[in-house]
Amino acid sequence: MELLDGKWVSSIILEEITVEVSELKNKYGKIPHLAAVLVGNDGASETYVNSKMRTCEKVGMKSSLIRLAAEISEETLLQEVNKLNQNPALDGFIVQLPLPKHIDEQKIIRAIAPEKDVDGFHPDNVGKMVLNMPSFIPATPFGILQIIEKYHIETSGKHCVVVGRSHIVGLPMSILMARNAYPGNCTVTLTHSKTKNLKEICQSADILIVAMGKPEFITADMVKEGAVVIDVGTTRVPDSSKKSGYAIKGDVKFDEVAPKCSYISPVPGGVGLMTVTSLIKNTLLAAKSKL
């Protein structure tokens, strides 16, 4: 069993990005610039956005944080998005999700210019991804692809089972693993809460990607010997033994599943670290596309 170390993969990719940013600056006088829009003061969103800003600084990119009140109207937020679309100094921006309930998230996502949509959620980018055309791939699936690449995991002809069908992870992951490319060329089964015989389907997986948000849902009897298991789940579970009062658990019961695997990603320390890294890489790609 080998751990899929997201910290190691992230450090390699961030080093590569740092070199490319330096080259862009020296050759073209161009420094990639990412902006993040944070509506309200959700604690998890605040932590995530701050991590993005710090990583930009680490690789030599510019970053901007636009803070807006939770009470902001949908119309005013759309105006802010349009300003960012029109700002030539910005290469890419994200509107941090989730948004307050009175705002239609899909309407906001559709308002972002596709060439600046470094989250990869705009229908134009999703459509291009489906057609295997160059596009911004959503950050978490992009991160998983890069982990698979760095560990040289064989995917061609394998049976890949994806558990969870969210637009952010599960659905795009199923499309990416089926495409005619590497990583890809898998036979993919996309499962979800309505799937019958989920245990048997998981047992048949050469590659099992789990993104459902149910802590320790996948147990050893659901995984076959030698499988590659990629755990995308991150759920806070109360734990009085921790200083914080909680532990972060993945969707896979790691201690009992790991001995059966050829590769497995831990939580924390696996896919989560790659999400921010992939967003930064998308921003670099956005900057390079303008040259």
Residue numbers annotated as active site: 52, 96, 119
Strands 246-249 and 235-238: antiparallel
Residues 227 and 186: their CA atoms lie apart, in Å, by 14
What is the distance between the alpha carbons of residues 69 and 244, in angstroms, rounded to a whole number? 28
What is residue 222's DSSP assignment?
G
Instruction: State the burial class of residue 57 (Cβ atoms within 10 Å of its Cβ: 0-12, 13-18, 19+).
Output: exposed
Contact between 54 and 25 (Cβ < 8 Å): no
**Torsion sign, CA atoms 149, 151, 156, 159:** negative
Closest CA to 274 of 211, 245, 232: 232
